[in-house]
Each structure stands twice: as C-alpha cells, then as structure tokens.
Amino acid sequence: MSQSSSYGYKAHKSSVETHPINMIRTVKQSARNHWQSLLPACGVDVPAKGKHGACPICGGTDRFHFIDDNHHGDWHCRQCDQPNHGDGLDLVARSKGITILTAAKQVADVLAMPLPELKFKPVKEQPQTVRPIAERIAVLVEKSIRGESQYLVKKGLQYPNQRLLQDSLLLVTQTLSDTNTGAQIITPNGEKRLVSGTQKKGSFIPVSEITGTPDTIIITEGYATALTVSQLHNGVVLAAIDESNLLNVAELVRKQWPESKIIFAADNDWHSQGERDKNGKLKKNVGKIAAEKTAKAINGWVTLPQTEYKADWDDYRQRYGIEAAKQAFSNGLYQVGEKKLMEAEAVVNHETKPKKANNNLAQMAASQRGALLVEHYKKIAVHAESEAVYHYNGTTWETLSDNELRRAMVAIFDQHDTPYSPNGINNAICALKLQIPVIGEQRQDLIGFSNGVYVLSTQQFTPHQPEHWLMNHNGIEFTQPAVGENLSDHAPDFYRWLSHAAGQNENKMNRIKAALFMILANRYDWQLFIEVTGEGGSGKSVFTYIATLLAGEHNTASGNMRALDEARGRYQFVGKSLITLPDQVKYVGEGAGIKAITGGDLIEVDGKYEKQFSTIIKAVVLATNNEPMSFTERNGGIARRRVIFPFNIPVKESEKDPQLPEKISRELPVIIRHLLNEFADQNKAKKLLQAQRDSNEALTVKSHSDPLYRFCGYLVSVNDTTGMKMGNKNISPRAPRLYLYHAYLSFMEAHGFERPLTLTKFGESIPKIMLEYRKEYRKVRTKKGYSYNVELSEEAEEWLPSVPECRDFKSPI
C-alpha cells in the first residue's frame, strides 16, 4: 500500500541497498520546490524567497539572501566564512553543525520518505565533514592565549585576561545550562562575526558568574557594553550578541528566575526625524524598540543613554566618564507602561506651561525671562572670558550677537502680547549668560567635515554632536573608502600635485607624505620643523593649504619667524597644533624661538591683557618661502631640526588650475586614510623626514643661503699630515692654498659676501657643517704645529686668487 506525504512524494517500502550519495540525491530531488516550508520544519528559519534577513549559520542580521532560484533552496550570505553559499541541504547541515548525510535524513523525516538501507564500505568509513560546534570551540579555546584585547583597549576598557586568537577577541557563547553553543570573534578594528555553526538563538556571553538566584540580571546587546554596564550597576550581566536575540535570552532567564529583576541596557539607535536608510525606508530606533518590546513581554526594565546621537552605554561612558554614566544608568531606569505615563504627563505639562508663562511674562524676573530664551534656542552656551553666546546649529556652534538675542527676546514678548522695556530685555540677556553652560574646547584630534567628524585617535568617523564643540568645519563631505582605494585613482588631483612637487621622484613623494603625516598626527615631539622653499608657483602654497586641512583650521595659527622669537608674538600659537609661516620674507637670525618650540622647551608667553606665563607649545612648524632662511646658530640645534623640501619646478601657465586646492579638499578623506595606512608604523615617517633632513638637496639649499656651507662644499678630506693649517688675519700676505681661514676670506671676497665670520666663530662652525656633509674633519698635531685633514678641491680654483709671480716671494711656512 502506497503512502503519500504532504509534499506530494509517493512513499513505498523498499529493501534495496543504496549508496549514501544516491540517498542524498534522492532526498534533494524530492525536496525540490519545497525548501521554503521544509527549512522551518527542520528548525532552520529563513526569510521569504528572494529576500534578505538573518543568517541561521553566522547569526548576521541582514546579509543572508534566500535565493531559491533553482528550487534547490539556494542561498548566499555575505557575512559567512567561505564557502558562503550552497543549497538547502548545505544550509541544514551547516546551521546545525552536522554532516550532509545526517541533514539528508532529517529532511527525509520531514518529507516522510522511507529510507533505504544504506550500503557502506566496511573499511573506508565516510568521515564526518563537520565536527560538532562544541568540539570546534574547544579547539579554538585551546589555541587561544590570555591577554589584552586591542578592541577593548581602544575603547578605554582595561581587561587584560581576555581570550585572544591571532589578536582577535574570542568570546564563547553558552546557554543557562553552561552548554557551549559557539563563539563570537571581534577583530582589533571592531569587525564581528560568529564562528560557523554557532547556535545564536537563546545563547549569550556571560560577563558575571551566575551563582544561586540573582537579585538583578542585566542583559545587553554587545560585549563591550556588557563590560561597561558591569561597572555601572550591581547584577549578573549577560551579552545577548545583538538586539534580535534579546527576547530569546530574556524568556529563558525569566523562566529560570521568575522573581529576579531583569534590566535591558539598551542601545540608543538614535536618528534624525524623517531620516531614511540606504533603501529609502524610514529609520527606526531598533535598539530601543527591541528592548522595550522584550521588557514588556517578560515584565522587565529598560535604561538607555539619553543622547541625540547613536550611542550605547559604552559610548556614553567614553564620552562622559564612569561616574556620570552610573548616575544616568540608574536615573534612566523605567518600565514601558510607566514611561508612557511619564511621557503623557510631560506632554500635558508642556502644553500648560506656556499658557501660564503668557499671562505672567510681565511679572517675571530677569532670570525667568532668560530661561524662556534658553528654551527658545535649546542648545546654547557662553564663552567664559568674552561672554559671547553660541548656538548649536546641528553641525557647529555659531555666535549669537547681543542684538540677535535682544530681537529673539522681543519676539517672545510680542508673541504673548506683553509690553517690554529695553532695560527688561537687556536684563534678561544678562541673566541668560549667567544661566547657560560655558562652552567647551574642541578636541585637537577632531577634523570637522560637513557630515560629521573624523576622530584621529580612534580613526573613526562619527556624526556631529554638540559635545564636539566645533566652531567650524572644512565644508567637505567625508566619504567611505572605495574598493581598492589608492591615490592615483581616487585622489587624482592630490596625486598630480604631489608628483609635480617631487619631480616625479618616488622617494621624495614618500618624504612629502611623511611631512603631511607629521602634521596630521601632530608629532611635534619629533623635534623637527618643515621648510618648503623654492620658486613661486611651484606648489608651496598648496602644501600649506593641505597641511591646514589635515590639522584643522581651528588648530592652525599663522605668523612669522619674528613672532616665534618674541613672547608677545607667541601668544597666538598657544593651544594650536600647526604653526604656518607662509610667504616668509628673507630671514637671518639665531632662530631661538623656532628652536625652543620644536625642542619642546618651556617658553615665555605674553598675552596682551594677561599676566605673562610659561608654557610648552605643542605644535608642528611649517615655513614656506621663496628664499631659504639663513640661521646664524651653528651649534647643530637648528641643523638637526630643519627638514628642507626644495620645490623648484614652477607649474606652466597653461597647466595652472586655480581650482586645484578646492579639488584636493574634496579628496581629503582619501588622503587621510592613505596617510594613516602608509604610516601605521609612525617611525617610518620619522625616518623618511630624517633622511630628507640629511639629503644632498637640503645641503644644496643651505649652500645657496649660507656662504659657510657653500665654502665647506669645496673642502675634501686628505691624509692627516698633508692638510691645511687654520691661519689668522695677522699672516701676510694671504696664502689661501695653505690656510683655511685665508681660503674662507678669499672665497667671501670673490663672491661679494660681506661680514665674514671671525676666526673663532669660523673655527667653531666648520666641524658641524662638515659633519652634515659627511666629510671627515680632524685637528692633527704635527712637528710644525696643528693642521687639519682637509684641503681645497680642484673646483676652488675658479675663485682662488692666482699664484704670485714675484721671485722674491717666500712661503710663510
């Protein structure tokens, strides 16, 4: 008698022996066109055909695509490990951590198929292709080491005894019965994935040990949030991995401990009203909705960060500190029904208060009127010293003049048909300035873009927040990295400028990039400064423009060498990270100011209306000029700090692009990412700058600006006993081929240089310069006195005086 299953398969008894592969093929054939209903019956939840949804293998929330275009249950997941696609039978096997053969048997049971007796070869037993998940996790745990996770360190969480697997965090998931169900892996940069075969549903990552009957159980989404929450409130803390698993874990917890208080430390997935996702759908606060829905289902409590930006409790702790987070966590606790009642009361109060204010505006004190003005502007702050008022416009804090405040106050009076006096208006504004918070200082590690800020310390891009205290931004939209991103293809205008400035020399291109990185990372502590010199129109001003973009306009101050040398002039540079000296006129001097600043010395600063004080200016100095600076300090203090970049190739008139700076500014996100990747090892940039400092082209620049450098270029090292003597002015006539000082004086006269160095200064300066030339220079004692192991090169004949023809001439030696 035949039997028909609900899937239309005609089943009949069979005693035929079948090879396993044949049985698998038979099951696949019978399951064709039925996978949409078969998979749930096998305990594998999938989205509707052609839709995206949660992956039953890796636990991803939206990367799994149930295709089923060939009716074999075909699927693909962009988050799974390879292979990340297959048919329905593969999906059953991988999601349950079983073999294909076992999966085929499960599908056959659902199909009500009679299974034939399988024929196995006795010797070559079919090996199991997938080990149980618990065994695989045990192997990973065995391979792991204990240490500090860089993912947690970047968040400021110091937990040194974490399981690490090749620098990634290994977090074992479990059930309430202590059964290991899989693991989550988090890379140092925060990428998360579940180990293939992990059973996410109802599993969690424990942060606290579960003993006895807990009074309070706190459930979070992520692990970092769970670690933070364990510091904010007493209780057993469990991380449910993501919001889709909250209900599964909570139901099991409630069943195990019916009387315990369960708190959901929810993520606030805040978004602007009307904001849409990439698919054009209105965004939802998924974290809040999931927590409230679950809390309502199991009679729990909810607390989430009260922010107007996307944040979890770990984000809140990083921004406001542990004590503020503790208070906010406890104060924010609510039950869903209770919150709705509170919100309703708030609406009623909000509706009635203005009416009361309308009637009493004339009788209000100045402080009460000021409070109305605060209510009007919402986010408002005052500068403590200048008493200027600022209003947050959604991206930056912009100033509000007293006239604007007066007009806003008058508008409130007019709205309520209440008479006013100028004194009453002014008193309200004075009261407002005493009530509102003092504006904060912008962090130096922020670069403001039109659509958010790039945080250099974490190398992350985040939306605008009032707490960033931005006064301006660069007006550029920050873009996400493209696949295979590189400078030549994705920042072509920057690459064109860089190639031209470096004369197509790849080594010099890398050194220029190292200089830009020094500015971006604010490595003032490298004790170097940058001098870009050369002909007009060769790209120097573009260098300064890019440097200002990288440092941030708010972090940049412009001045000159004289300002660096004087206490009054230095005041403008306090608190800045970049000092630009653009179009620097010909400078001749000791360079005491630039040496002290780049050396990290404590220096005197004199504010015009402030008491003189001492401080360390933590800024990189960038000078640009047509003629290189000439320093009279020759003890090596300037030489070891000065990194010279000659820009000597002017752009042709036909190739000049007045829009080039603007075009490069749009490429800033690509440039930043490239510099951070290129110099992940920051010492690489430092070594490149030191190589440029000691380069031949840097020496060439110095020789054109300093006669002594040029003179030393004519000296060559020789045998100790055949070198020149020093000489002095009293020896007459001059013998420049015998005496170093005479040669120097002849060189100065031949080239029309005035004010030669004294003999003492000359003798003190030569050793340092010869060291820069990498030429050996020593003082040697001989029978005829002291001599030096150098002589003039043949090229010196072009300026040396001719040899006297007088027969009576006698050598002074």
Cα–Cα distance for residue pair 708/515, rounded to 1 Å: 28
> Which residue positions in the chain have pLDDT lower than 70?
1-19, 110, 112-131, 337-360, 584, 608-611, 720-721, 803-813
Q: Which pair of structure tokens corresponds to residue 436? A: 């509102």
What pLDDT is recorded for position 609? 56
What pLDDT is recorded for position 331? 84
Residues of the chain with CATH 3.90.580: 3-111
Query: Given this model, what pLDDT does residue 208 score?
Result: 83
Q: How confident is the model at residue 23, as a pLDDT?
A: 80
Q: What is the 3-state secondary structure (H, E, C) of 715-740?
A: EEECCHHHCEECCCCCCCCCCCCCEH
pLDDT recorded at residue 492: 95
Helix (H) or strand (E) holding 164: strand 162-165
Q: CATH fold of 133-339, please?
A: Dna Topoisomerase Vi A Subunit; Chain: A, domain 2 (3.40.1360)
Q: CATH 3.40.1360.10 in the chain: give the residue spans.
A: 133-339
Q: Which CATH class is domain 706-798?
A: mainly alpha
d(CA 541, CA 92): 63
What pLDDT is attached to residue 207? 92
pTM of this prediction exceeds 0.75? no
Span(s) in the chain for CATH 1.10.10.10: 706-798
**Predicted local confidence at residue 714, as pLDDT:** 94
- Torsion angles phi and psi, residue 604, rounded to 5: -80, 135
User: Residue 548: its pLDDT value, please?
Assistant: 92
Check residue 75 and give its pLDDT. Answer: 85
The encoded tokens of residue 572 equal 């403008």
Q: What is the pLDDT of residues 290-306, one digit of tens each?
A: 899 999 999 999 999 98
CATH number of 487-703: 3.40.50.300
Tokens in use for 397?
């804090």
Q: Which of 86, 59, 72, 69 is nearest to 25 (CA)?
A: 72
Beta carbons of 381 and 437 less than 8 angstroms apart: yes
Dump pLDDT digits (tens) for 129-169: 445 888 889 888 988 998 889 999 888 888 888 999 888 99
Helices (H) and strands (E) in the chain, counts: 29, 35
Q: Choose among 546, 690, 570, 700: nearest CA to 624.
A: 546
DSSP string, 773-805: TT----EEEETTEEEESEEE-GGGGGTSPPPP-
CATH 3.40.50.300 boundaries in the chain: 487-703
Phi, psi of 40 (to 5 degrees): -60, -35
What CATH number belongs to 3-111? 3.90.580
